[in-house]
Copies of this chain bind each other. A is one copy, B any other.
C-alpha cells in the first residue's frame, strides 16, 4: 500500500541484489542507457546503427582496410560484414576495389560523402559521451575505460 508521496508506477519493483555482483549483468544494464544515448545523439540524426558508425570511423582512420580486417575489429562474422558494406555502398558512403597485391582481397575506402558523414558522426559521439558520462568524474571515466579494456583483453583474444 504505497503512500501518496510514492511515485512507483508499478508493483513496486523487485530485489535485484542477487544479480548485482555479476559483471555480465552490470554490463547489460549499463549497455541500455549507452545505446539509447547513441541512438538519440548519433544513430537517429545520421541514420546509422552502432556497427555502421564504428565501421565508418574505423575506415576514416584506416583507409583501404579489408573486409577481413573489419571483421576482426568489429567482432563480426564475414557474411555480416558483406551486408554491412553493401548498405554503406548503396548509400554512397564507401567504395570497394580489388587489391593489386592480392586479387582476392578488397580495399575499402570512404567516398567524400562517407568521409563527411564520419566526421559528423565522430563529432556527435563526443557530445553523446558527455551526456552518458556526466555522472562520472574525468578520473572515473578513465578508470572505467581502462578496467573494461582489461576485461576485454583478459579472456578476449
Contacts and interface: CB of A to CB of B under 8 A. Distances in A.
Interface residues of A, number: 69
Interface stretch (A60-68, A79-87, A90-98, A109-117): A60-68
13 contacts: A10-B72, A11-B66, A11-B69, A14-B70, A18-B122, A19-B58, A22-B125, A24-B31, A29-B149, A30-B149, A36-B155, A136-B150, A140-B147
A135 interface: yes
A152 interface: yes
A155 B92 CA distance: 34
Grouping DSSP codes into helix (H, G, I), strand (E, B) and loop, the A interface class, with mixed when no group exceeds half, is helix
Interface in A26-58: 26-38, 50, 54, 57-58
Contacts of A153: 135
A144 B154 CA distance: 15
B21 A145 contact: yes
A50 B30 contact: no
A18 B129 contact: no
Given A132-B155, A134-B154, A152-B33, A23 B144 contact: yes
